[in-house]
Structures are given as C-alpha cells and as structure tokens.
Structure 1
Amino acid sequence: MKILVTGAAGFIGFHVSQSLIQKGHYVIGLDNINDYYDINLKFARLNELGIPKDTASSFNKLVISSKHRNSFKFIRLDIQNREALPVLFKKEKFDVVCNLAAQAGVRYSIENPETYVDSNIVGFLNILQCCRNFNTKHLVYASSSSVYGLSDKIPFETDDTVDKPISLYAATKKSNELMAHTYSHLFNIPTTGLRFFTVYGPWGRPDMAIFLFTKAISENKPINVFNHGDLERDFTYIDDITEGITRICEKKTEDRKTINELYKIYNIGNNNTVKLIDFITEIETNLNKKATKNLMPMQKGDVKKTWANVDDLIRDYNYQPKTSIQNGIKIFINWYQEFYNDII
C-alpha cells in the first residue's frame, strides 16, 4: 500500500516508517521539523531512512527520495498548510494515512497553548479534510492516555468517560477523537485512534523521562522526581507500539460499514504498570551509577497512575506487547551511549 506517515522525523513516526518499509509498503514521510527539541536528532532519524540532512533541511514542496530505500520518500511540510497538503494528497492518492504529527508534551502545553491548537486541532482538521476529499481508505491517528485525566478507575478502558482533561494537550487529543468520529459519521471514513501509554526506546524525544534521567545520571547531575516518586506508568517499548500500529495500517477496512465499525478507539500500551522509582532503579543499574534525586511535588497536568487495558487490541489485531522494562531500558541506554558517545 501507499501510506503517508506524518511526523516521520519524530520518535514514533520514524519507527513506524521503518516498520512499514520493512513490510514492503511504499511510504511517504512528512514532517515540518520544528524546534520543540534538537532538530539534529530529527535529521539523524531521517538519515537512518536515507534522507541526508542537507536535503531535508531545505523547505520546498518537492518529495525527496531516499538514497538507500526505494520505498521511502520525504517531504518537509506542515500539516497546517491548507494549500500544499491537498496538492500532496491529490498527487499521491494514499491508501492509508498514519497521522503522528502533533505538538507533544503535557507540561509544555501549559505555557504554549497556541502551539497545540495550531498543530493538534487545525493540522488535524486539514488531515481529515484531505482524507475526505481524496478518498483515503483508512486514517490511523495518535491520541493519548492523557485523555483519561484524573480517572481513578484502573486499568483505563476505552469506554471510560474522558470528558475532564487536565491539560490542554489532553484536551486537543480528545478533540481529535471527536473530530474523527464526526468525519467517520458524515463521510464514511474509517478512522482508528490510538491512545498511547508512555512510549520509550531508542531515538526517543529528549523531553521524555528516560532521556532526562539517563542524561542527568550520566553527567552526575540530580534528577527531578515528581510526586516524591509516588507515580506509576504503563511504560511501553517502542517496538511493541510500532508493531501494533503496523498491523492496524495493514488491515483492510472495506468491511467497516456502520459507525461503530468505522470509528475505532484503542488503548495501546504494555498492559502493565511500573512504579517510577523501579524505572529509575533499572536505569541506575544499566548505567552503574546512583541517581541524586530531587523529590518534587506533583506537576500541573500530571496524573498519578496510568495503566492500559488493551484487550480490544489483542482481540482485533492479536497485539502482543512483549518487551520487559529490563530489556527495553537496556536497549535504550546502549543506543543513548552510542549516539551521544558518552563515556560512562
């Protein structure tokens, strides 16, 4: 199939592009390469996909072919662009769109709310309109576990009430689900939203906890541990996430006729919960260093515990998260040390 992956220079988008290419699909990756974090990491991911930095760094509307992958092309474009995005859709006629482009980060949304509306609302609307106007067979898109807010019902299930977000980021992701439902209902577009649960692994974002902890401990600097360490997360390794997304993108949608079939929401996580302190201990073990911990109060927008019920995804796609925290953290730290040439 011909698949558009937005956010292809991002953490999850890069891995999903790689997986789809390896499965034999023709992928066009799209990213605006904003400066929310170090763009050199984004260029390095693209380089792994065969797009050299000097080519990817120039703004243009031409699709750039990969040097060593004949099934991948890249375009530097913002999903907010109402003129250029329809041109791309009209030319390429995508079978599937996997929309992973978004402004990420719960805490960043408190100080920069406009950015989230621009990317996560306006940009997503443009994606929906293009899928509608150019007959895309399936839209797969990123939602977030943050939509569950302060729910104390554990584990989180997709039929739980999620109308009380506690961050603007969460509110935009819930808005995406509502917008997708509207387009599925009005225009018979199959849409599948995925509520991600604390994804980690190689090539991750520098603002992620595992990245921040590893960097600080490596440099003998203290780490900030919020809610005095009394936090639990459904940490999910990137390969498990990627495998799930790939299976969803590959599944035919012709038999999805009713609104309950056309519009789908799934949790995608590890189906388990891990204490933050245990997560930090595993990092310490792999670095062979003890962390100096600054115990801090709960941050605005954070929740105490997340845990995904993924029974629906197991039933419909044979989803099987299988990477333990021990293996996942070990692989991440090996990548981190190699990528940044740290001597630890």
Structure 2
Amino acid sequence: MAHLLVTGAAGFIGAHAAAALARAGHRVTGCDSFNGYYPVALKHARVSELLAPLGVPVERLDLSDMAATQAFFSRHGFDAVLHLAAQAGVRHSVQAPMDYVQSNLLGFGAVLEACRRHGVQHLLYASSSSVYGRRDNDAAPTGFRETDRTDQPASFYAATKQANEAMARATAAVHGLPVTGLRFFTVYGPWGRPDMAYWSFAQRLRRGEPLQLFGRGELRRDFTFIDDVTDALVRLVARGAPPADAEGVPSALFNVGHHHPVRVVDFVRTLEAVLGCEARIEFAPLQAGDVPDTSADPTRLIEAIGPWHCTPLHDGLSAFAQWLQRWESVPRPMLVAA
C-alpha cells in the first residue's frame, strides 16, 4: 500500500482528493498551513467531516519553511506526493502578489527539493487553466491543448503556475524526479471556497441581492465538478509515474476539464433553477486578470486514464446547493470576490 502525501489537505480540492485516495485503499497523510483569505473554520470543518472519519491525519505545516518541510518528509517517508497547497484566486493576486510568491514559488520549491532528497517516486502537482492566458472565444474550438503556448499569463497567479510547471520540468530533467502537472479547469462543488464566483452568486441569490457579472456575462468557463476531479486524480495516482517524454524527461501535463464551456450568464440561470430564486443581474466590464474563455481539450487525459466521470452542471450545482443549505441555512453577508 502506497503512502501518499496530500498537501493543502484542508483545502477544497485537497480535502476531497485525500478522502478519495483513502477510500481507494491508500495510506494518506495530509498537511496544511491552515491560513488563507477565507474563514479558517471551513478548513477545519473539511478535515473533521471529510478526513477524520477516514483516519487521514492532517498536520500543520508551512511548506515555505524549508527546514520544517525537509524534516516532515524525512519523518514520514512518502512514496508519492499530490501537491495541491497553493495560494489560489486570480483576483486576490492583483492585490496581494507576495502571498503567491510565498506559497506558490517558495512553497513549491521546497516541495520539489524534499521530493528529490527523500526518494519520492512520483510528484503530482496542481497547475491551472489560467496558464493559457487570454484567448478569443473562437480561438480554440477544440479547447486548449497542453501543447498550446503559455508564455503570456494574464495574472500574477497564472504566472506563478506557469513557473511551477517550469520548475517541475527542470527538476525532472536534472534529477529524474517523475512529475505530473494538473491544469484544473474551474472546479466547483460542496466544501468549495467562499471567494469563488459560484458560491458568491448562490449567496447573493439567496439574499435577494443583485449579481454583478463581469465581461457582461459572456465569459465562458469549463466548470468541472469536484467528484470528477477526484476520479481523475485517483486514476492518475494509480497510473503511476509518467514515462520519459521525447526528450527523455519523466514529465507529463494534463488538462483536468471536460470541454463543456458554459457562459457565466447561463451558469447563473442554472443556479437560479437549482435554488428557486430569480437573479437581478448587473453587467460589468472585464476585470483585470480575467480571461474571456477557458475550455479544456481532455484528449490527453482520456488517453492516459480512460473515460472519466462527467457530472452534468445541473446535478453538480444541485449537490452544491444542498450542501450550502446545511453549511449555512441562513445566508449572511460575506466579503468575497464575485
């Protein structure tokens, strides 16, 4: 039985992934800094409700602390690492770029160094669809491919994820550490992040407040339900380390999205139906750091793991709405990015 580390295990994707891997029979250890720009109580609740019942321990660790990270790896002896810890959010990176340097660059560098020093056999790490930058809606009718250019990031967050990919590949090339990058496409679902648009939209709908849709609601997002993501992650872990590529480097990149882009205004209409509320919509121009379109070409992922779960948007939003009602039966105002 493999011993897996999931970093960011108290986060949205991290908690779901750690739980899914434990249910798949792996021995899972988690770590998390338990800080962030949304209520830490949500992180603790994810651990207590999703991970503790499965016996998954989650230790407090700031990965950017090189000495502490090295000691943590030395103490546990991991076979593989799923690195999901990061400072997320495009818009927050406009106001607080140094948060991203600390977590996404220093923290990721420490993880790479710990993996190579402690014999980790496979590192899987979170990248983002944001690396593709700005595209016109019709520029990629088949969806973004992993071979598309990623040298024009539209946000500081995207730049750090682009850097992560370069750092990982360089480590694989120089030290032979097998690495797999995961370009996630707008993941949503229960236990998500309050700063994400779908959560903010739901709360505003429930309170009868207007929704502000940037890009006049014409932005398109390839929404990916959290259970679909964990299905792909469990399969990729089971697949094991990637083979060497054409240049002899054990490195792979995968889009984790379905190529089902939805206009944000249509997403809101589905959310209206699920919640039984009518939205009051205010349109606004595109914000700094936003991109007009995200759409995945999942061909490479399907070739690697086979067909993977695809949850219809209505079903995914219904699951989120049911969870949100349990989490917060009476919606209250929150300072979040809409």
Shorter-chain TM-score above 0.5: yes
Residue 96 of structure 2 is matched in structure 1 by: 112
2:219 corresponds to which of 228, 231, 234? 231
Q: What amino acid does structure 1 have at the position aligned with 2:146?
A: T
1:149 corresponds to which of 119, 133, 141? 133
Moved over 6 A (4+): none
Find the aligned partners of 2:282 and 2:37 in 1 and give their Cα distance. Answer: 25
1:304 corresponds to which of 269, 285, 292? 292
Greater RCO between the two (CA within 8 Å, min separation 6)?
A: 2
Find the aligned partners of 2:112 and 2:247 in 1 and give their Cα distance. Answer: 16
Residue 192 of structure 2 is matched in structure 1 by: 204
Residue 55 of structure 1 is matched in structure 2 by: none
Give structure 2 stretches of 5+ with no counterpart.
Answer: 332-338
Q: What amino acid does structure 2 have at the position aligned with 1:339?
A: W
Q: For residue 151 of structure 1, report the CA deviation from its aligned partner.
A: 2.9
String of CA shifts for 1:190-246, please: whole Å, max 9, x gaps.
Answer: 100010000000000001111000001101111110011111110100000111111
Find the aligned partners of 2:269 and 2:251 in 1 and give their Cα distance. Answer: 40
Q: For residue 49 of structure 1, report the CA deviation from its aligned partner.
A: 3.6
2:110 corresponds to which of 126, 135, 138? 126
Q: For residue 161 of structure 1, report the CA deviation from its aligned partner.
A: 0.8
Find the aligned partners of 2:54 and 2:260 in 1 and give their Cα distance. Answer: 36
Does the residue aligned with 1:242 lie in a helix, a strand or coil?
helix
Q: How large is the RMSD of aligned CA atoms in angstroms?
A: 1.5
Give structure 1 stretches of 5+ with no counterpart.
Answer: 51-65
Q: For residue 252 of structure 1, report the CA deviation from its aligned partner.
A: 2.7
Q: Structure 1 residues 288, 257: CA separation in 2 closer, same or farther (over 3 Å shift)? A: closer
Find the aligned partners of 1:261 and 1:277 in 2 and give their Cα distance. Answer: 42
Find the aligned partners of 2:101 and 2:198 in 1 and give their Cα distance. Answer: 27
Find the aligned partners of 1:301 and 1:69 in 2 and give their Cα distance. Answer: 39
Q: What amino acid does structure 2 have at the position aligned with 1:126?
A: A
TM-score when scaled to structure 1? 0.92
Residue 84 of structure 1 is matched in structure 2 by: 68
Q: For residue 122 of structure 1, report the CA deviation from its aligned partner.
A: 0.4
Q: Structure 1 residues 244, 261: CA separation in 2 closer, same or farther (over 3 Å shift)? A: farther
Q: For residue 254 of structure 1, report the CA deviation from its aligned partner.
A: 7.9
Find the aligned partners of 2:243 and 2:158 in 1 and give their Cα distance. Answer: 31
Find the aligned partners of 1:148 and 1:319 in 2 and give their Cα distance. Answer: 24
Percent identity at matched positions? 41
Q: Report the count of equivalent residues.
A: 326
String of CA shifts for 1:33-88, please: whole Å, max 9, x gaps.
Answer: 113101111111011145xxxxxxxxxxxxxxx4x434x21101111111111111
Residue 59 of structure 1 is matched in structure 2 by: none
TM-score when scaled to structure 2? 0.93
Does the residue aligned with 1:194 lie in a helix, a strand or coil?
strand
Q: Structure 1 residues 285, 127: CA separation in 2 closer, same or farther (over 3 Å shift)? A: same
String of CA shifts for 1:78-110, please: whole Å, max 9, x gaps.
Answer: 111111111111111101100000000000001
Residue 5 of structure 2 is matched in structure 1 by: 4
Residue 334 of structure 2 is matched in structure 1 by: none
